Structure 1
Amino acid sequence: MSDYLDVFSKDMTAEKVTTFDVLIEIPKGSRNKYEYDFELKKIRYDRMIFSSMMYPADYGFIPETLALDGDPLDVLVLVTEPTFPGCVIEVKPIGVFHMADEKGPDEKVICVPVTDPSASKLTDLSDCNPHLIKEIEHFFQVYKDLEEKKVDVGGWGDVHEAREIVAKCIVRYQESDVPRSEVSIY
């Protein structure tokens, strides 16, 4: 069993979800869409976004979680400077953005790096610049328009809701039959 699974136990509750590691797939400011290839254990170039939009924050996932769309739970990490594909960051959740795409519900947990002095004081979405929140929402409303794919935006949830979603996705993964190799980077 990995150290990660030792941290994420079967009795995971929202109160226990304070910090966790995420794997970055797409850096802030990029139009390139990268995805982690679980079989190869490498980052794979997927495509360039069809629009001129750029990711408003680092984008990745929480390893060893299972979201409702069948993938690991997505995250946006509010970084001061972009990192790089494959970077692992210890983060804390501050909220969640609800949306759905062609695969179904596709929530994005909004996080900040624990060790970034510019962001580590943020504890909830209400601490963020309201314009940044609008940019994130706008990005996800329109980034697939030129691909003619439908996205439904469902609004925002606070830090407590984000923690509950993370905890549920950890337990869902642990109780699922999904092979570990399909959601784990370890």
Structure 2
Amino acid sequence: MRTLLPLLRTAWACRVGPFVVARPPRGASAGPGSRTMAKYHREERGQPRSPSYRLFLKNEAGHYISPFHDIPLKVDSKENLFNMIVEVPRWTNAKMEIATEEPLNPIKQDAKNGKLRYVANIFPHKGYIWNYGALPQTWEDPHQKDKNTDCCGDNDPIDVCEIGSKVLSCGEVIHVKILGILALIDQNETDWKLIAINVNDPEASKLHDIDDVKKYKPGYLEATVNWFRFYKVPEGKPENQFAFNGAFKNKAFALEVIKSAHECWKALLLKKCDGGAINCTNVQVSSSPFHCTQEEARSLVESVSSSVNKESNEDADQTWHFLGE
């Protein structure tokens, strides 16, 4: 039996599954029940291309939110319409990502050994070959073995490769249709890669499943497998491996993976599993023990430097790497 924290029901709260989510002010987007796309605003703090840089998100009412926990997974009750947070615009190299271990999970540039991370240009590709991001309210549990891959999750939200024609912006929140999924095995962890398309893309109306991608965008899926296979090789690492011999699974399979990752996220937010260093601070899921007030969220953000500083403002190495099969 599920055990939830006692909650006061007010006119400003609504129950969604096991959660109670704060109802937004009149006129604002209501999340999963809203008929129109929620409007999210970005706020940059710190110097871009520096370790201090953080990109926070606000909702339509101007309140700080967590893109990991406070943006609804689904749009309305439609089976195949999801919110996606764009982390990396197509053709860019900076490895931007949701900071899962920081309060309110702003987007930052990943760093290793004190050095900002960029993906290499592997001929013929410049940077990332899709708009790359994540589905909110999903979590790949590192302690739970996936029945399809026999490997545990990678401790992140599910990654999304958006294959539409428009170059999107870091921090943008869009509605996507899921088309299929690829199972990357990275250091013995399952790292699912969803294939999706922006619903507002001109080609969205003719893409409904993974076979449609093969038909209307020939070579794109093969390029995607090769990109993920080789992208760490310039760093001196071995080629990545895949479950299912690198074959893409269809939409129905992908939706089941999303459903499972959403259930893992629910357990995480209700403290029913070991989240390790994951920061679950949120302002919308009031049934979660990690819930905070809007005032507390503002204080968390204001504690992050907003000044433009003289920290390293390095650019990506534009060397081209030529790798074979």
Which TM-score applies when normalising by structure 2? 0.50
More helix, by proportion: 1
User: Structure 2 stretches of 5 or more lacking a match?
Assistant: 1-20, 23-30, 33-69, 111-116, 141-152, 285-325
Q: What one-letter code is carried by the residue in structure 2 that aligns with 1:161? A: F
* CA displacement at 1:70 relative to structure 2: 1.2
Alignment partners' CA distance in 2, 1:165 and 1:180: 21
Deviations 1:110-158 (A, max 9, x none): 1111121223320111111230111111100100112233411232100
Q: Specify which of 243, 259, 275 is matched with residue 167 of structure 1.
A: 259
- Residue 55 (structure 1) aligned with residue 119 (structure 2): no
- Residue 69 (structure 1) aligned with residue 154 (structure 2): yes
Structure 1 residues 35 and 119, CA, compared in 2 at 3 Å: closer, same or farther? same
User: How many residue pairs are counted as aligned between the two chains?
Assistant: 181
Q: Specify which of 218, 235, 249 is matched with residue 147 of structure 1.
A: 235
Deviations 1:24-68 (A, max 9, x none): 101111122111224264321221114444211111001110122
1:12 maps to which residue? none
More strand, by proportion: 1
Structure of greater relative contact order (alpha carbons < 8 Å, 6+ residues apart): 1
Percent sequence identity over matched residues?
A: 27
Determine helix, strand or coil for the equivalent of 2:263: helix
User: Structure 1 stretches of 5 or more lacking a match?
Assistant: 10-14
Alignment partners' CA distance in 1, 2:261 and 2:187: 20
Once the two structures are superposed, the pairs formed by residues 31-180 of structure 1 within 5 Å of their partners are 31-38=93-100, 39=102, 41-46=105-110, 47-52=117-122, 53=125, 54-67=127-140, 68-102=153-187, 104-128=189-213, 129-150=217-238, 151-154=240-243, 155=246, 156-176=248-268, 177=271, 178=275
Q: Which has the larger radius of gyration?
A: 2
Q: CA RMSD in A?
A: 2.8
Alignment partners' CA distance in 2, 1:29 and 1:185: 33
2:82 maps to which residue? 20
Alignment partners' CA distance in 1, 2:108 and 2:237: 22
Structure 1 residues 135 and 8, CA, compared in 2 at 3 Å: closer, same or farther? closer
